[in-house]
Amino acid sequence: MKIVKSQDGTKVFFALDGRLDTVTAPELQNVLIPAFDDAKSVTLDFVGVAYVSSAGLRVLLLGEKTAKSKNCSMILINVSQEIKDIFEMTGFSDILKIA
């Protein structure tokens, strides 16, 4: 997975490209969780994400919990219908903010 981070003040943006799975989920976790230390909002651009496994879902859940605990927001954008279907089947569409 390719992860490109950019920041504008307290807004952090991650462009993701590839599969969010057992191999790549720790990579995302290592950059996502620390981002909430300085950010008020974190945006994950899913335009290049073709697959999310249970390990990827776990990192997204951890991100949402961390955001709430630090009074931040986490938003997912450009989520494909296939990934939205995964979020709906697992109940994550009720937990995550998807724009």
Full-model pTM: 0.94
For the chain, the structural domain boundaries read 2-98
Which residue stretches of the chain are H helix?
25-35, 54-69, 81-90
Alpha carbon distance 79, 99 (integer Å): 8
Structure confidence at residue 78 (pLDDT) = 98
**CATH 3.30.750.24 corresponds to the domain 2-98:** yes
Supply the mean pLDDT for the chain.
96
List average pLDDT for each run of 10 residues in the chain, which is 99 residues long.
Answer: 96 97 97 95 96 97 97 97 95 95
Structure confidence at residue 54 (pLDDT) = 96
pLDDT tens per residue across span 15-29: 999 999 999 999 999
> Do 49 and 43 form a contact (C-beta atoms < 8 A)?
no
> Do 78 and 45 form a contact (C-beta atoms < 8 A)?
yes
Structure confidence at residue 57 (pLDDT) = 97
Q: How many helices (H) and strands (E) does the chain have?
A: 3, 5
